[in-house]
Structure 1
Amino acid sequence: MAETKLSSFKDERWSLHGMTALVTGGTRGIGYAIAEELAEFGASVHICARKQEDVDKCLEEWKRKGFRITGSVCDVLSRDQRQNLMKNVASIFNGKLNILINNVGTSIPKNLIDYTAEDVSTIMGTNFESCYHLCQLAYPLLKASGYGSIVFISSIAGLKAFPLSSIYASSKGAMNQFTKNVALEWAKDNIRANAVAPGPIKTVLLDSFMVCMLC
């Protein structure tokens, strides 16, 4: 197995050995980095993505590094696929899950007046509804683990207005509020919820946004 980042006895407090984690959108960008970081600290990780070839490529890379990472195909926009994903996770991790990283996100940069109903459904469904539903599905697994942690990958756009991103920003704003409600309602079950709101990070999503900005 790959060496973890635990360099001394003092660092044992950061160990994730014995922990299980699900990272959505784990084959690229922020999700890829999170999955690898969790594995480096000793967690058993499952990732999902829309394309089998992307999953296979990443799993092969991680296998060479000795990481305990599995993966499966899931388009989180599909309710049925979300349910199948969580069934897979429950089977792989024996009915328990310690960490849920709601990372998947999408954006369709347009002026506010130009958004279609389909655009709104796609963005809100991918960025917000999927997170909401995955939390519901993961709840019994997180509770059964005795120690659950949910991390939502939000965005600074959920706190500050930017051009060409009104629906994307709204989805992240909804995520921010949802995080607070999850934290409030599930604290009694020893399940924590936090949102991380990054600024611009060079990923495929940012590249596509910048192209639209320059058009």
Structure 2
Amino acid sequence: MAESDLISKVRGSKWSLKGMTALVTGGTRGIGHAVVEDLAGFGASVYTCSRNEAELNKCLKEWEGKGFVVSGSVCDASSRDQREKLIQEVASFFNGKLNILINNVGTNIRKPTNEYTTEEFLTLMSTNFESVYHLCQLAHPLLKASGMGSIVFISSVAGVVHIGSGSIYAASKAAINQLTKNLSCEWAKDNIRTNCVAPWYTKTSLVENMK
């Protein structure tokens, strides 16, 4: 069975996300783009963001043509002010409730440990870890209000074992792995599930740019 046929069969099953709301950060490329399409394909109403306005508008138009319910706005997830604005927009769009938060945004600068500058360290940690930590804090009231919240972090195998992707990138992903464990226990009482996906190398623009 072809992959497209399998996806269509699964989406046509009784399992559905109709009525559910989701925020996917960095949803215009790579893994984030695929996640948006899957969630929308299963019937969820999806909100996403990107730093690139032209790219975002292009994707929104394509999704509309596919019959997907997807909206979005421009946001640099590494900016605290823009993260706060994003969650305000999501709260308004979904009437104060959010079922699913997919923390997908991430970047990398791959080089030997001794060659990293302070600025590069801060860029990697703020984009990969600080942003998702803060977004969880901001989204917590919305997830709790939904009565059935779910957080999914997109981590990496690099956060578990050494794969040559750079020590700072690996450290940021390892921090995400531990944050997942903590929140899964701490926020269970609020009916918020917390999980983490740790992919191997995936053919996305991030990987292509590291070659």
CA displacement 1:32-81 (0-9 Å, x = unmatched): 00000000000000000101111101001001101000010000110000
How has the CA–CA distance of structure 1 residues 89 and 204 changed in structure 2, closer, same or farther, with 3 Å as cutoff? same
Unaligned residue ranges in structure 1 (runs of 5+): none
Q: CA RMSD of the aligned region, Å?
A: 1.2
Whether the 8 Å CA contact 1:6–1:15 is kept in 2: the answer is: yes
The separation in 2 between residues aligned to 1:163 and 1:111, in whole angstroms, is 9
Cα deviation for residue 163 of structure 1 reads 2.3
Whether the 8 Å CA contact 1:151–1:195 is kept in 2: the answer is: yes
The separation in 1 between residues aligned to 2:25 and 2:181, in whole angstroms, is 20
How has the CA–CA distance of structure 1 residues 18 and 121 changed in structure 2, closer, same or farther, with 3 Å as cutoff? same
Question: SS state of the match for residue 187, structure 2?
Answer: helix
Whether the 8 Å CA contact 1:5–1:40 is kept in 2: the answer is: no
Does structure 1 residue 149 correspond to structure 2 residue 127?
no
Whether the 8 Å CA contact 1:112–1:164 is kept in 2: the answer is: no
Does structure 1 residue 105 correspond to structure 2 residue 106?
yes
Whether the 8 Å CA contact 1:31–1:103 is kept in 2: the answer is: yes
CA displacement 1:137-187 (0-9 Å, x = unmatched): 000000000000000000000011122511000000000000001101000
Normalising by structure 2, we get a TM-score of 0.94
Cα deviation for residue 207 of structure 1 reads 1.1
Cα deviation for residue 5 of structure 1 reads 4.8
Amino acid at match of 1:16: L
Amino acid at match of 2:197: V
Amino acid at match of 2:75: C
How has the CA–CA distance of structure 1 residues 191 and 110 changed in structure 2, closer, same or farther, with 3 Å as cutoff? same
Whether the 8 Å CA contact 1:154–1:198 is kept in 2: the answer is: yes
Whether the 8 Å CA contact 1:106–1:123 is kept in 2: the answer is: yes
Other-structure match for 2:18: 17
Question: SS state of the match for residue 167, structure 1?
Answer: helix
> What is the percentage of aligned positions where both structures have the same residue?
62
Question: SS state of the match for residue 46, structure 2?
Answer: strand
The separation in 2 between residues aligned to 1:96 and 1:196, in whole angstroms, is 24
Does structure 1 residue 192 correspond to structure 2 residue 204?
no
Amino acid at match of 1:127: N
Normalising by structure 1, we get a TM-score of 0.93
Question: SS state of the match for residue 21, structure 1?
Answer: strand
Other-structure match for 2:41: 40
The separation in 1 between residues aligned to 2:79 and 2:106, in whole angstroms, is 14
| Count of aligned residue pairs for this structure pair | 204
Large movers: runs of 4+ above 3 Å = 3-6
